[in-house]
A and B are shown apart, each in its own frame.
Chain A
Amino acid sequence: MAELAMNKTHPEFKRGFQSGVSIAIGYAPIAITFGLLAKTTGLTFGETILMSLIVFAGASQYISLSLISLGTGVFEIILTTFIVNIRHFLMSAALNEKSEKGQTINKAVYSFGITDETFSVAAMRDDTVTSGYMFGLNLISYCSWVLCSGVGFYLGANLPQTLQESMSIALYAMFIGLLTPSMKKSMKVVFLAALAACLNTVFTMTTELSTGWAIVISTLISAVLVELIEGMKAKTGEEEDEK
């Protein structure tokens, strides 16, 4: 039985692992910088690795470091982490629609690895998202994140500055690489992305919203508006057909 299950999940696991290579590359400079900053903030090597192992969420780990150095209390740091990471709720809800039926326990396990990046790669996949795929995708991303945090702690200061700067484009390039093919196929995707991009830019520039909330609100407004407009268009289309 176990062998049968392995045979079925193995190719999906491999596919997920391969899809995660770009994420692993993109995480390297961010995790290395995190490791370096953690060291300068005064965390020990064990604490640095533990945070990457248990939290696995880039932005909030950075923010916690700056809060620690400001002397902020533990409760505020945990609350800020919650606010920054609440956007994953929306991502998991969207991914749940796209994932294979059943497998609730597997989903509860792999949901630990849902980040902006693993979500983007999985959600833009053409096929159904299987558990094997998610485990492969998350594993390579997680390993890169944790290992590079450790590398950054010890070696961060010695890495060539130019390479680190150039690598900071990696995740953005990956997002663009995921989005562009769908934009070519559908105007709807162009509208969704452009509207959310404009809203997020406006919110970031003009309000005090945290990055996490700005992303959630821009995404929601864009997704709801485009859906409403589509619904209206479909309705008027039907009415015209009736005439």
Chain B
Amino acid sequence: MRSEIVWMIVGMGLVTYIPRMLPFVLFKGKELPPFLQGVLKNVPSATLGALIFPGVFFINEDIWFGVFGAAVAFIAAYLGANVIVVVLGSIAALSLYSFII
């Protein structure tokens, strides 16, 4: 291993770990203002929206590939399928899709 690369990796690890760890230490045992608590409660659903779109359109050069996969996942999830079933189902549906097209 080259020492320059190792140092780069250690640096990358540190700047990634610190923002992950800080909130748990900074806010420990502290009661945040109610408004801020409300905002933080909204973060998961909002993050999921931003993580799905627009990324899902760009997983393949063919934009319909992502659209089709997302639609299958949504229908399966809407019908109450378990997350693992949703994941495996959309992989299977897309394998079929590429097989046909």
Q: Please judge, given known A-B contacts A25-B88, A112-B17, whether A169 and B94 are in contact too, CB under 8 Å.
A: yes
Q: How far is the CA of A173 from the CA of B8 in the complex (A)?
A: 33
Residue of A whose beta carbon sits closest to that of B82: A177
Q: Which of B1-59 contact A (CB under 8 A)?
A: 1-2, 4-13, 15-17, 19-25, 27-29, 32, 35, 37-56, 59
A69 within 8 A of B: no
Interface of A is mostly: helix
The answer to whether A78 touches B49 (Cβ under 8 A) is: no
- The residue from B20, B44, B82 contacting A89, defined by CB atoms under 8 A apart: B20
Q: How far is the CA of A199 from the CA of B49 in the complex (A)?
A: 10
Which residues of B are at the interface with A, using a C-beta cutoff of 8 A? 1-2, 4-13, 15-17, 19-25, 27-29, 32, 35, 37-56, 59-60, 65-66, 69-70, 72-74, 76-78, 80-84, 86-92, 94-95, 97-99
Interface of B is mostly: helix
Q: How far is the CA of A165 from the CA of B59 in the complex (A)?
A: 8
User: Inter-chain contact count A-B, CB under 8 Å?
Assistant: 280
Write out the residue numbers on chain B whose beta carbons fall within 8 Å of the beta carbon of A90: 43, 47
The answer to whether B86 touches A177 (Cβ under 8 A) is: yes
Closest 8 CB pairs of A and B: A193-B49, A177-B86, A180-B77, A123-B44, A223-B42, A54-B13, A197-B53, A169-B69
Write out the residue numbers on chain B whose beta carbons fall within 8 Å of the beta carbon of A88: 16, 19-20
The answer to whether A54 touches B10 (Cβ under 8 A) is: yes
Q: How far is the CA of A47 from the CA of B87 in the complex (A)?
A: 31
B70 → chain A, closest Cβ, in Å?
6
Give 25 CB contacts A-B under 8 Å: A26-B87, A46-B1, A47-B5, A81-B12, A91-B47, A92-B19, A93-B40, A94-B43, A96-B24, A99-B24, A120-B47, A169-B94, A170-B90, A172-B56, A172-B66, A174-B86, A176-B52, A177-B76, A177-B77, A177-B81, A177-B83, A192-B49, A196-B48, A197-B49, A197-B52
